[in-house]
Amino acid sequence: MKHILIIHSSEGADSDTQRFMGQDLHLRRVGCGGDAERARALIVENDGRVDAIALEGMPAQLELGDARRPHDVGATLPAAAQQTPVVDGSGIRAGLERWGVILADRAQPGIFAQKRVLMVPGLNHNGLAEALGRRAVELRYADPFIYFALPPVPLVGSRQTLGQAAGRTLDQLSGAPFHRLQPLPGEPGTERPADAFQWADILAGDIGAIRRYAPDTLKHKTVVVEWATNEDLADLRDRGATILVTMMPALDGRGELGRWSAATLEAVMVALRADASAPLTEDTYLDLMADLDWTPAVRYLQPDEVGINRFAFVIHPLSIRFIHNDKRFRWTKYLPDELVERTAAYIPPMYLSRITGGVSPTTGQRIEGHLITLAATPRQMMSHGERFTYDQLNKAARIAERKGARIMGLGAFTSVVGDAGITVAHEADIAITSGNSLTVAATLEAAKQAVIKMGATDLTKGKVMIIGATGSIGSVCSRLLAQAIYDVVLVSIEPERLIELKRTIQQETPGATVTIATRADEYLAECDLIVTATSAFGQRIVDITKCKPGAVICDVARPPDISREEAALRPDVLVIESGEVLIPGEIDFGYDIGLPKGTAYACLAETALLAMEGRFEDYTLGRNISMERVKEIYRLFKKHDFRIAGLRSHDEFVTDDMVAEKRALADMLRADAALFARTQQEAAAALAALPASSKGVKAKSNRGLPLVGAATAAVAAGAGALLFFRRRK
């Protein structure tokens, strides 16, 4: 059995027996009350009688950034022993801290990502500061006000940029008593300001200093320290801290709370080294550390925080009206709209709210989301280069990581710009999904319900049109609908891609009738269902006056392609939004997303669903939507009891009475050709008086913008057409 003496700077004595790395250890802790002479006497008394001596809280050398100074007293203590090695933890601390951050991040991905870190203190924690600094959005050192009660202006920067400030700090600490170097828990003589602590997401350093100088409330804080006791854990829990991470390996089992200091661990390693004559160099320690099988202990301190999977979702104003309606920007309604819209596009992403209450009835997995908004409207995103939106989304991803999210969904136009999420996923450290796979399934399910409500008994004998058919959403919609309905009209401004899509459908679904066109008008009168899947704005997508009686238009776009005023011209036609989704649980978005309580856009629901399943990976990206992913996401949809919400049309629920009125009117128009002709003429005249528009933008202010074949908020596809329509035998 190896015998280790641990001399600590407080009072009291105790002993413990542990088994570590296959060998038995007897550890005896003796306090010296911070008295260097008592410590020296203990060293002399036990020299040659134990295998190693650890000096806990009595460093021989002080390090802060690149600055180093010997401690006037601590540097003299190791020489008091002639036979037994005397160590203070400096040989292994930095290496284990760097390694520990890597291991903790692997065990809990994103736990340190994009956080604001306050070193409390940074003294002799260079390894921890380096490792956290690589992952943090900003790292500061609390040393000036921790040690000298100076005003709360912490040192900011990496260890290399601390420069003269670090040197001056060490000059003043080189002769300080040990109890100042490593403060113990208790009431401080002088209160330290709470602002610096409140700024931080992570408090890292010494548990004694954190407990002594941090404020009583540490809600949502992560605490990263060398070691901690159960008493420390209880204190942090009472203060509301969320997570405690201990950096040193536990002697009493893998994953247990690290209760032993770096000085103790170094002494243990010295005692256990195979060659007792091996020099205590970095190489020797590295060889010893390589044999460790450990993971830093990560303790969730609040019951409500345990086992929650987190996601984030990006939204943006669909029009200038959304900016005016935000209580923070209501004053902008007194300024020119064009000026407000252009200026808002440059506002950095903003955190909106926390989404709570989501839970799977199948697995019990809880989820929490975070809403983040850009300030650019679709028009501004389209008028700027792709890089403009990519940069904004990268900033949003960093906010999401700071909030603990491990996957981020792209809402509305953010999933359309450029390569539909591929570049963002490549550049971000967080998983990305456009939400398109689930949104299509929901969209087609909504379309199915709508045509059934409008009286279609067998749509397989009808005809469907997809406008924007060559886009990422439209193409998948077209392929699936062709499998279900067999008679499809594909509309796009890209004739060469129309030809390719037609050939694909004919190969996948032999016998399907596929008509292609660059304009919708000629075929509208024949179609029972029209799906608009474009990202165009400032032009008329569908001339509703040409639709057949009782037709259904599923408007996938966000903002919508068809305005309320246009829809009102043909009260016999049912215009619905893409399918919205009910997430299981008592969902509270913490913000008005423009939908009824508990109802989410399907692209948001896909992100939540992936978090609920624990699938933190890039999922739906790019313009080639995988049919396999669509089918898989629909299976997960059913597994976790997500549901389609009620049909909606221009922000209103479609009631049975509303449908009954439309069906009755459609029956009248079908029965009376002359009445139908007059109705069309009157509607056409009224439509001519309405400026051509889509996405809430009039054509005159957006001349020359093309009809892009890609949907915005909603998506295409479903888990196979049989999920939505009965296939004709």
Alpha carbons 97 and 247: distance in angstroms, whole number: 6
Alpha carbons 679 and 617: distance in angstroms, whole number: 52
How many beta carbons lie within 10 A of that of residue 429, not counting itself? 15
Q: Which domain holds residue 597?
A: 307-437+583-644
- Name the band, by pLDDT with cuts 50, 70 and 90, for residue 650: confident
Confirm whether 378 is domain-assigned. yes
CB 265 within 8 A of CB 96: yes
| Count of domains observed in the chain | 4
Looking at the structure, tell me whether residues 503 and 573 fall in a common domain.
Answer: yes
At residue 11, does pLDDT exceed 70?
yes
Confirm whether 277 is domain-assigned. no
Looking at the structure, tell me whether residues 572 and 706 fall in a common domain.
Answer: yes
At residue 683, does pLDDT exceed 90?
yes
Confirm whether 79 is domain-assigned. yes
Looking at the structure, tell me whether residues 296 and 208 fall in a common domain.
Answer: yes
Looking at the structure, tell me whether residues 37 and 67 fall in a common domain.
Answer: yes
Give the single-character DSSP code of 721. G
At residue 646, does pLDDT exceed 70?
yes
Looking at the structure, tell me whether residues 547 and 632 fall in a common domain.
Answer: no
Question: What tokens were used for 647?
Answer: 């049909």
Confirm whether 696 is domain-assigned. yes
Q: What SS3 class is residue 285?
A: helix
Where does a domain end: 56, 87, 118? Answer: 87
Looking at the structure, tell me whether residues 229 and 118 fall in a common domain.
Answer: yes
Instruction: List, for residues 92-125, the tens digit of each pLDDT value.
Output: 999 999 999 999 998 888 899 889 999 999 999 9
Alpha carbons 401 and 522: distance in angstroms, whole number: 50
Looking at the structure, tell me whether residues 228 and 107 fall in a common domain.
Answer: yes
Pick from 245-259, 378-392, 414-428, 606-620 the range whose average pLDDT is largest: 606-620
Cβ neighbours of residue 491 closer than 8 Å, sequence gap 6 or more: 465, 466, 467, 468, 469, 516, 517, 518, 519, 520, 523
Looking at the structure, tell me whether residues 425 and 473 fall in a common domain.
Answer: no
Helix axes 93-107, 262-272, angle to 10 degrees: 110
Of the chain, the percentage scoring pLDDT greater than 90 comes to 57
- Which CATH number does the domain housing residue 193 bear? 3.40.50
Looking at the structure, tell me whether residues 97 and 211 fall in a common domain.
Answer: yes
Q: What SS3 class is residue 356?
A: strand
- Which CATH number does the domain housing residue 666 bear? 3.40.50.720
Looking at the structure, tell me whether residues 32 and 64 fall in a common domain.
Answer: yes
Confirm whether 268 is domain-assigned. no
Where does a domain end: 87, 120, 141? Answer: 87
Looking at the structure, tell me whether residues 539 and 477 fall in a common domain.
Answer: yes
Confirm whether 487 is domain-assigned. yes
Confirm whether 272 is domain-assigned. no
pLDDT of res. 158: 60
More confident residue, 4 or 471: 4
Confirm whether 274 is domain-assigned. no
Where does a domain end: 39, 62, 87? Answer: 87
Question: What tokens were used for 390?
Answer: 């990519």
Of the chain, the percentage scoring pLDDT greater than 70 comes to 92
Alpha carbons 646 and 581: distance in angstroms, whole number: 9
Looking at the structure, tell me whether residues 608 and 655 fall in a common domain.
Answer: no
pLDDT of res. 718: 32
